[in-house]
Amino acid sequence: MLSNNIQEVAGKNIRLFRQTKGLTQEKLAELVSVSSSYIGYLERGLRAPSLDLLARIGTALEVEPTDLLYTTENASDPTLKKLNALLVGKNPKSINFLYEVAMAYFVSTSDSV
């Protein structure tokens, strides 16, 4: 069922962005005015957030609400998912700087780019 898939994607992303920001479920719940158990339900894909709640969660996590619905099926590596979550919402200049640093690192270590 499509809605379950969307719920699961949103839940996984909420958890990923929350953890990336160093927030507990309790703190996120406090920031968006819901119970911590409801955050747990969302993260496990057992409940679907309303559009209003999705917007509030996005604001609390400093990401666009649409980022919470984005699936990263191609990025199965958990570290890549964490890196992506860390970069979402950052200014392009900072992202480009990190890209240049990564490129320099890979060239210096003879890893392919």
Q: Tens digits of per-residue pLDDT, 49-105?
A: 999 999 999 999 988 898 898 876 555 667 777 787 788 778 889 888 888 888 888
Q: Per the domain annotation, does 91 fall within a domain?
A: yes
Q: Per the domain annotation, does 101 fall within a domain?
A: yes
Q: What is the pTM of this model?
A: 0.70
Q: Per the domain annotation, does 113 fall within a domain?
A: no
Query: With contact defined as beta carbons under 8 Å apart, do 15 and 43 qualify?
Result: yes
Q: Per the domain annotation, does 24 fall within a domain?
A: yes
Q: Which long-range contacts (CB under 8 A, 24 or more apart) does 26-29 make?
A: 28/57, 28/60, 28/61
Q: Per the domain annotation, does 74 fall within a domain?
A: yes
**Domains held by the chain: number:** 1
Q: What is the CATH number of the domain that holds 82?
A: 1.10.260.40
Tell me the residue range of the domain where 12 lies: 2-108
Query: With contact defined as beta carbons under 8 Å apart, do 57 and 23 qualify?
Result: no
